[in-house]
Amino acid sequence: MIATLYIIATPIGNLEDITYRAVRILGEVDLIAAEDTRHSLKLLNHFGITKPMTSYFDHNKLFKGERILNALRQGKSVALISDAGTPCISDPGYQLVRDAIAEHIPVIPVPGACAAITALSASGLPSDNFSFVGFPPSRQGKRRAFLTKLANNPGTLILYEAPHRLVETLRDIHETMGNRRIVVARELTKIFEELLRGEVASVLELVSEIKVRGEVVVLIEPGEDTPLETEPVEEVLWRLLSDRTISVKDAATKAAEITGVSRSVAYTKALEVRNGADCDKKQ
């Protein structure tokens, strides 16, 4: 094999979902770059593949990326795989691909499983127009702002979420997008595969009663053409600060959660509202 970077999709659960081509190429390359070598070793052992491996993930992408490029420069072939599914989807693989392309190194995709597309195909939501938006921010204020911007997207939204944040994210979807239809897909292609379908409130109730394991895919039906009305941050702050027992900082934090604006913006507005109220009182 000549120096080539192969982007190889691996199963997202059921090992039978790997392709014949993927198994063949993994057995032929000089080096396999994996997100977690211990995890991927189980897959390789299952198919009797013994090849040199190196880790490549978000925290070592600069150092290991250069080592992988050096191997390619030396004429070696490299396979890039992730823990599950198609590489370069919500992981740093695209940077390695970008750098390889810049050096005119052939990059060949070997297609296969992808959790986002797998979930979409069985969701029952419109699939002629959709957007994959990755993981939402972990902090509530930023997450709500993120979701608010997507509320009127004309296509189905697909996002990934960690199990310990799923309930909070569903609550924020309900708050920012309304009680629209969603699908929560978990354990895809595994024994306990489950797709929970319904309006946000009903799915949230179901999810709250079970222990969710592994990353999940959340799909949200398209928004309406009319803009989603949100209460201006100034009005929220006036209402909160009418209670003189609440501090400016606490009011700003709460207003940021409600409206989705940043805390710094909310704090600045809160100071203006509080100072304005004090001036009116003196007059």
- What is the tally of structural domains in the chain? 3
- 18 domain residue, yes or no: yes
Domain match, 75 and 30 both: yes
d(Cα 161, Cα 60) in Å, to the nearest integer? Answer: 23
Do 16 and 108 belong to one domain?
yes
CB under 8 Å to 62, separation ≥6 — which residues? none
Q: What is the C-alpha to C-alpha distance for residues 23 and 112, in angstroms, rounded to an integer?
A: 11
Report pLDDT digits (tens) over 63-94. 899 999 999 999 999 999 999 999 999 888 99
Do 105 and 130 belong to one domain?
A: no
Contact 6, 79 (CB under 8 A): yes
pLDDT score of 2: 81
Domain membership flag for residue 272: yes
pLDDT at residue 109, as a whole number = 98
CATH of the domain at 121: 3.30.950.10
- 133/99 same-domain check: no
Full domain range(s) for residue 81: 5-113
Whole-angstrom Cα distance, residue 122 to residue 114? 13
Higher pLDDT residue, 225 or 180? 180
> 95, 113, 131 — which closes off a domain?
113
In a domain, 226, yes or no: no
For residues 68 and 138, membership in a common domain is answered with: no
For residue 45, what pLDDT is reported?
97
Domain boundary among 65, 93, 113: 113
Least confident of 22-26, 75-79, 238-242: 238-242
**100, 127: one domain:** no
Percent of the chain with pLDDT over 90: 69
Main-chain phi, psi angles of 31, to 5 degrees: -150, 140
pTM of the model: 0.76
